[in-house]
Amino acid sequence: MSIGCESTVMFPPTLQAVYIRTLGAYEATRDAVQLNWQGAGVGARKLQRGLSHLLAKRDQLVGREVLIELTETRNIVSGIKTMLCRWGMKPAFDLRSLNVILMRHTSWYTDGDRLEELLKRAAQLEASGDLAGRLAVLEQIEPLCGGRFLPDYDSVPEYSIDDEVAFWQLRQKEALQTLAWARIATNDPHLCAPALRAAVRALRFDPENPTAYQFAADIARRGSHEARARHYEALARYYERCHDN
């Protein structure tokens, strides 16, 4: 990561890095041009499924047989290797006799990586007292919070990525709530509606949590949206009762 100025995080990590979207969408691009899913004669959907599992288990050993069973394709490892080499990601793919590892490397990054870097930079700016710079950095996170992690992934239960999905649901909710609070804390009337928008977007990542609705109510009230504050408070009470039953 290189910092262009105090309020901007610069990406990609290298000029030719592959960018893989995983939050609410699944695609790979370089320089904003979509990359082809081709390798060793393996179909695109099977390559996408196999790479999805490696993305979810990044930096972890994944058995060759796991990928074969997931995709029902004997040469899936060769297909993924060929494709990643074409994409320029060869250094990130560690091929072993029984296992493979997709490693963190400057040849590629994801929208989740970008989100984490922005949140880290925002925390650094807050610690230094640069609240305007912090807000400028946080403004970049809203389009990254696109939805479910690897939304098209499906598998047999033993190869589930439920833990990873849950992590990114929570992370996106927290990021949007951080943005909402940073906006409303400026006391700028022009940022009241955007603050509430971020708080409401956060609800979709934790739709049955009463505290998320109470947070939206607090943001609405700070922005003088009393009717909407009462609406979200009512929903918070409803979900509290649901949890109590």
In this prediction, residues 150-160 reach a mean pLDDT of 89
pLDDT value of residue 155? 79
Backbone dihedral region for residue 166 (phi beyond 0: left; psi -120 to 50: alpha; all else: beta): alpha
Q: Is the pTM of the predicted complex or chain greater than 0.85?
A: yes
Confidence of residue 7 (pLDDT cuts 50, 70, 90): very low
In this prediction, residues 58-77 reach a mean pLDDT of 96
Q: Give CB contacts under 8 A, 24+ apart, made by 65-68.
A: 65/98, 66/159, 67/100
Question: Residue type at 129?
Answer: G
Residue 148 burial (10 A CB sphere; 0-12, 13-18, 19+)? middle
How far is residue 176's CA from residue 187's CA, in Å, rounded to a whole number?
Answer: 18
97-117: pLDDT as tens digits = 999 999 999 999 999 999 999
pLDDT above 90: residue 222: yes
What percentage of the chain reaches a pLDDT higher than 90? 89
pLDDT value of residue 6? 45
pLDDT value of residue 2? 33
Cα pseudo-dihedral 68, 59, 153, 119, rounded to 10? -170
Cis amide linkage into residue 12, ω under 30° from 0: yes
pLDDT value of residue 154? 85
> What is the average pLDDT value for the chain, to the nearest integer?
93
Strand partners, 9: 3
pLDDT value of residue 158? 87
CA-angle at 178, arms to 173 and 183, nearest 5°:
125
